[in-house]
């Protein structure tokens, strides 16, 4: 069966937009063109993709089953188009990196700066995704390096832990808890918290500790990026429980950090496409290893000094 990739692209747009009209607007084409493409695709696959639902349409179960494969084809075509442009421009193939948002401002910026010193002509393509998408894109071979956090010793297949950092309580200078050398869960009573979102797998242990308190602290903001939470602390929105990587690799002016008990180390895990990696990918991984190891060493010293 020979299917025009353009038909799949239009199908994906209709699925995501929920209507032919909105899909046409997104694709900058006409509504009849989109409708005709859907009818043509239905002829080719020999089953219905959408059913009328009042004045709108509803995808059939078979359309839902087709969607994942169609998205995969669309991504592969986009990767191919991107690679063709790189070849035309004489650019070296880039390193494709996928990381959870929490890592975005903790280690990645420093790694990018160091990498550019060695490979100034190589493009770094960095995606900030949820854990599930990182795993699927690694499996499909569309990502060279994957980075995520785990707060247990268990990490997904293909990943390895390269460093760990403690959970730290971050607060503004002068906050009542700043006089303590160590902050415990019980100390959180009566304080507002900005915290990693409870849908994040690595935040499970944090939430179990918080939810076990009676009464529970007031949660005022949940978010997926540690740097965003840290900035909210700077503006006195609340205090936060953050991974040490985010805390130690940032501008902490106006903030103080204290070790938090019970201990809940954040483990930085990495996966790659060994043995098919380019020299550029290997260099990026080396840099990540060096930076994270140095941060871990600094954090261990910080915690040891705090605990006497």
Kindly report, residue by residue over 134-183, the tens digit of the pLDDT. Answer: 998 888 788 899 999 998 888 988 899 999 999 999 999 999 999 999 99
Domains located in the chain, CATH noted? 5-85 (1.10.10.10), 92-162+267-306 (3.40.190.10), 164-265 (3.40.190.10)
**Quick one: tokens of 302?**
């910080």
- Average pLDDT of 110-132? 91
If 0-12 CB within 10 Å is exposed, 13-18 middle and 19+ buried, where does residue 185 land? middle
The more confidently predicted of residues 89 and 221 is 221
Q: Taking Cα atoms as reference points, which of 193, 180, 182, 185 lies closest to residue 213?
A: 185
Please report the pLDDT score of residue 91 as a whole number: 55
Distance CA 281, CA 288 (A): 11
Please report the pLDDT score of residue 1 as a whole number: 63
Q: With pLDDT > 90 as the criterion, what percentage of the chain qualifies?
A: 51
Kindly report, residue by residue over 234-253, the tens digit of the pLDDT. Answer: 999 999 999 999 988 667 88
Kindly report, residue by residue over 167-176, the tens digit of the pLDDT. Answer: 999 999 999 9
- Average pLDDT of 223-227? 91
Is residue 170 within 8 Å of 250, Cβ to Cβ?
no
**Quick one: tokens of 56?**
């709108």
Q: Taking Cα atoms as reference points, which of 94, 60, 108 lies closest to residue 227?
A: 108
Q: Taking Cα atoms as reference points, which of 219, 217, 234, 229 lies closest to residue 174?
A: 234
pLDDT band, very low/low/confident/very high, at 89 (cuts 50, 70, 90)? low
pLDDT band, very low/low/confident/very high, at 83 (cuts 50, 70, 90)? low
Neighbours of 9 (CB within 10 A): 18
Q: Which residues are registered as beta bridge partners of 50?
A: 59
Strands (E), the chain: 50-53, 56-59, 92-99, 122-128, 145-150, 160-165, 167-172, 183-184, 192-196, 218-223, 239-243, 255-261, 266-272
Is residue 112 within 8 Å of 165, Cβ to Cβ?
no
Distance CA 120, CA 133 (A): 29
Q: Taking Cα atoms as reference points, which of 21, 39, 18 lies closest to residue 29?
A: 21
**Quick one: tokens of 125?**
């393509």
Q: Which helix (H) or strand (E) holds 40?
A: helix 31-45
Q: Using CA of residue 296, residue 302, residue 303, residue 304, what is the dihedral sign?
A: positive
DSSP 151: S
Please report the pLDDT score of residue 250 as a whole number: 65
Q: Determine the straight-line distance between the first and last CA of the chain, rounded to whole angstroms.
A: 70
| Mean pLDDT, the chain, integer | 88
Distance CA 124, CA 97 (A): 7
């Amino acid at each position: 069966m020979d299917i025009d990739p353009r038909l799949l692209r239009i199908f994906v747009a209709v699925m995501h937009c929920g209507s032919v009209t909105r899909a046409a607007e997104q694709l900058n084409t006409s509504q009849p063109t989109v409708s005709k493409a859907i009818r043509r695709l239905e002829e080719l696959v020999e089953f219905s993709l959408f059913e009328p639902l009042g004045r709108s349409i509803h995808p059939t179960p078979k359309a839902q089953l087709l969607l994942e494969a169609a998205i995969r084809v669309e991504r592969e075509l986009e990767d191919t188009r991107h690679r063709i442009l790189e070849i035309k421009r004489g650019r070296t193939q880039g390193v494709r990196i996928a990381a959870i948002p929490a890592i975005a401002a903790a280690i990645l910026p420093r790694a990018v700066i160091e990498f550019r010193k060695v490979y100034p002509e190589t493009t770094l393509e960095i995606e900030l995704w949820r854990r599930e998408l990182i795993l699927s894109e690694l499996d499909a071979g569309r990502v060279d390096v994957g980075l995520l956090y785990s707060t247990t010793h268990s990490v997904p297949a293909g990943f390895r832990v390269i460093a760990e950092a403690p959970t730290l309580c971050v607060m503004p200078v002068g906050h009542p808890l700043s006089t303590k050398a160590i902050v415990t869960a019980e100390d959180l009573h009566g304080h507002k918290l900005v915290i990693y979102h409870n849908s994040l797998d690595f935040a499970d242990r944090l939430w179990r500790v918080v939810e076990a308190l009676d009464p529970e602290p007031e949660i005022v903001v949940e978010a997926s990026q540690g740097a965003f939470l840290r900035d909210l602390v700077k503006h006195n929105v609340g205090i936060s429980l953050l991974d040490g990587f985010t805390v130690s690799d940032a501008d902490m002016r106006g903030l103080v950090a204290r070790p938090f008990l019970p201990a809940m180390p954040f483990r930085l895990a990495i996966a790659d496409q060994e043995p098919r990696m380019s020299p550029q990918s290997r260099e990026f991984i080396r840099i990540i290893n060096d930076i994270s190891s140095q941060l871990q060493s600094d954090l261990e010293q910080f915690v040891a000094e705090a605990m006497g």
